[in-house]
Amino acid sequence: MLAVHGGNTEEIARKYNLNSKEILDFSANINPVGLNENVKAAMINAIDKVVKYPDITYFDLKNSIGEFEKLDISNITLGNGAAEVIFNIVRALKPRKALLPAPTFSEYEEAIISVNGEIEYYKLKESNDFNLDDEFINKIKDDIDIIFICNPNNPTGCLTKKEFIRKVLNKALTTNTTVVIDESFLDFVKPNELYLSNDLLIDYKNLIIVKSLTKFFAIPGARIGYGLCSNNEIINEINKVIVPWSVNVIASEAIIQGLKEKDYIDKSIVYVKNEKEYLYSALKEIDSLKVFEPSVNFIMFKLLIDLDLKSELIKRRILIRSCDNYIGLSNSFYRVAVRTREENNKLISEIKNILFDK
């Protein structure tokens, strides 16, 4: 069974006999500013390169990422999306037991299961708005080989401070545990110095950071992501399991260009911040919703009445993410992406129509 994710508009269109282009997709968390024009041009230009294999060392791409992250290229591992990087890490390290907060992004669990690893879940508490707390650190024991922390967490939006991560890393050093921090959405937060783990990399050889490039640059169909680690042994183990040429030339050229687009990057951060606040305030005004404070381009809420909101919205050609398959949540929880003002207004008015009709 494949894990359930947002963004499956084709599958939903087939199920409900709709045209996928008619569906307004709030289920995948993609930068609402959309594809940058220069990135698009770079991808179109890259078409001529498909007759050759990508540079197997990805020298130019790694240099662009290295410059962006202010890190040596030997610390970078690439993948066909952050999802592949997560699987590469797990296949390389073959953890026997993992500690995962719940709810969180499901591919950590999928990756651990793929190597027959055992999982201990740390249930985040709704009473604490699903934030990580010190009790989590007490769960790091000698038998835990790997920990994943999603920062900010998908789907809750909770941010974890770097100082908490430092405490996790210190405890993990005593138990020989590798700590993976997934910062796939952290570039949407500015300033983010309080949360970024990047400058812990040199001191902590048990730290791996994972980042997706598909959310921010609005290229989920092109697939590209990376991992960062200063421990040569871990990078070497990952290199042993990497599928050669797994990043295609089109995605690679898109990112080499994208990381240069400072105006687009700054504009996206401001746009997402404003629309997130707008959508959050509007949703909070609806009595039957309990809305959790968002940090980036998605918002989780709990529906306080008994209703299948996802099915009701799909009748109106709007797709949202039901959180029913997240461990630690139930079918009362939903996640919506932050989109453009017009689209956000459409979502708000359709939710109100449905709930006020009840």
Ligand X SMILES: Cc1ncc(COP(=O)(O)O)c(C=O)c1O
Amino acid at 105: F
CB-nearer residue toward ligand X: 42 or 218? 218
Q: How far is the CB of 4 from ligand X (least distance, A)?
A: 11
Examine residue 101 and say whether the peptide bond preceding it is cis (omega within 30 degrees of 0): no
Binding mask 114-153 for ligand X (x = CB under 6 A): ------------------------------------x---
**Rule CB under 6 A: is residue 182 a binding residue for ligand X?**
yes
Q: How far is the CB of 220 from ligand X (least distance, A)?
A: 5
Q: Which residue has the tokens 């996928």?
A: 20
> What are the structure tokens assigned to 335, written together?
């996640």
User: Residue 101 forms beta bridges with which residues?
Assistant: 122
Question: Least distance from C-beta 294 to ligand X, angstroms?
Answer: 14
- Binding to ligand X in span 283-342, by CB under 6 A: none
Residue that has been written with the tokens 């994208």 in this structure: 258
List the one residue from 8, 31, 77, 184 that touches ligand X (CB under 6 A): 184
* CB-nearer residue toward ligand X: 154 or 192: 154
Torsion of Cα atoms, 26 then 313 then 5 then 281, to 10°: 40
What is the number of other CB atoms lying within 10 angstroms of the CB of residue 136?
A: 20
Cis before 155? omega within 30 = yes
Give least dist CB 148 to ligand X, A: 9
Sign of the C-alpha dihedral computed for residues 309, 315, 318 and 322 taken in this order: positive
* Least separation in angstroms between CB 285 and ligand X: 27
Q: Where do the H-state alpha helices sit in the chain? A: 9-16, 37-46, 59-69, 82-93, 107-114, 134-138, 162-175, 232-241, 249-258, 262-284, 309-314, 341-357
Q: How many residues bind ligand X (CB under 6 A)?
A: 12
Number of neighbouring beta carbons within 10 Å of residue 251: 26
CB atoms within 10 A of CB 259: 18
- Closest to ligand X by CB, 66 vs 220, is 220
Q: In the complex, what is the shortest distance from the CB of residue 209 to ligand X, in angstroms, rounded to a whole number?
A: 11
Question: Smallest gap, in angstroms, from Cβ of residue 315 to ligand X?
Answer: 25
To ligand X, the closest distance from the beta carbon of 85 in angstroms equals 8
- Please identify, using beta-carbon distances, which residue of 98 and 355 lies nearer to ligand X: 98
With respect to ligand X, which residue has the nearer C-beta, 178 or 214? 214
By C-beta, is 152 or 348 nearer to ligand X? 152
User: Among residue numbers 225 through 254, which ones bind ligand X (CB under 6 A)?
Assistant: 225
CB environment 94-116: b (16+ within 10 A), e (fewer)? ebebbbbbbbbbbbbbbbbeeee
Nearest in space to 107 (alpha carbons), one of 152, 176, 169, 154: 154
For the window 191-230, what string marks contact with ligand X as x by the rule CB under 6 A? ---------------------x-x-----x----x-----
Measured CA to CA, the distance from residue 292 to residue 203 in angstroms comes to 34
Return the SS3 of 299: strand
Q: How far is the CB of 7 from ligand X (least distance, A)?
A: 8
Terminal CA-CA length for the chain: 35
Identity of residue 74 = S
- List binders of ligand X among 15-54 (CB under 6 A): none
What part of residues 61-100 is at the interface with ligand X (CB under 6 A)?
81-83
Q: Verify binding: residue 265, ligand X, rule CB under 6 A.
A: no
Q: Is residue 183 part of the contact set for ligand X (CB under 6 A)?
A: no
Nearer to ligand X, 211 or 310 (CB): 211
How many Cα neighbours within 13 Å face the side chain of 296?
Answer: 27
Q: Which of 26, 58, 87, 105 binds ligand X (CB under 6 A)?
A: 105
For residue 154, state whether it binds ligand X (rule: CB under 6 A): yes
Shortest Å, Cβ 286 to ligand X:
25
Contact 43, 187 (CB under 8 A): no
Which positions lie near ligand X, rule CB under 6 A?
81-83, 105, 150, 154, 182, 184, 212, 214, 220, 225
